[in-house]
Amino acid sequence: MVRHLRTEAQAGRMLPFVIEYEGKLAGQLTVAGITWGSMCSGHIGYWIDRAVAGRGVMPTAVALAVDHCFRSVGLHRVEVCIRPENLPSRRVVEKLGFREEGTRPRYLHIDGAWRDHLVFALTAEEVPEGLLARWHRSQPGRSTEIK
């Protein structure tokens, strides 16, 4: 798995990230399916340890990854595809203001069957100030300063 991630990252098709919380492995986020040319897009997948869920770790990680993709990598569009019943994952993209675009029927083979996924997306023009800054600004009592 590590060899595959490294090969894909070196080829410019994937960006794997480890998520740490309080010095411990808490999850993973991967920008995969990176396509260049006229598309300039990728999709994000993620998981988080249940012990850390609900603390804003994943929305922060997704926002940072999107900002990196738009500002440093040069992508124009980022998608997140989520199983409809995965409410915690849907909550992440809702908090961040991703646009729901529709359903991909039987999109991925998971747990022995082809599963539908909802598609959420953002383009660089939708967050000119950066996704992390926009999310922080939407949080009551939260400083808008990014450190």
Owning domain of residue 17: 2-138
In the predicted model, is pLDDT for residue 146 greater than 50? Answer: no
Has residue 134 been placed in a domain? yes
Burial of 146 (0-12, 13-18, 19+ CB in 10 A): exposed
Mean pLDDT, residues 60-67: 98
| 95 closest CA partner among 124, 117, 66, 68 | 66
Mean pLDDT, residues 11-29: 94
pLDDT of amino acid 1: 78
Answer yes or no: are the C-beta atoms of 127 and 134 closer than 8 Å.
yes
Has residue 125 been placed in a domain? yes
pLDDT of amino acid 23: 95
DSSP sequence for 10-52: HTTS-EEEEEEETTEEEEEEEEEEEE-TT--EEEEEEEE-TTT
In the predicted model, is pLDDT for residue 144 greater than 80? Answer: no
Task: State if pTM tops 0.85.
Answer: yes
Has residue 22 been placed in a domain? yes
pLDDT of amino acid 143: 53
Has residue 76 been placed in a domain? yes
Has residue 145 been placed in a domain? no
Overall domain count for the chain: 1
Mean pLDDT, residues 115-135: 97
Mean pLDDT, residues 133-140: 91
Has residue 37 been placed in a domain? yes
Alpha-carbon distance of 72 to 110, in angstroms, equals: 32
pLDDT of amino acid 147: 43
Alpha-carbon distance of 87 to 78, in angstroms, equals: 20
In the predicted model, is pLDDT for residue 120 greater than 90? Answer: yes
Alpha-carbon distance of 132 to 71, in angstroms, equals: 12
pLDDT over 70, % of the chain: 96
In the predicted model, is pLDDT for residue 30 greater than 70? Answer: yes
Has residue 146 been placed in a domain? no
| 101 closest CA partner among 122, 85, 132 | 122
- Residue 141: CB atoms within 10 Å: 4
3-state secondary structure of 1: coil
| CATH number of the domain within which 101 lies | 3.40.630.30
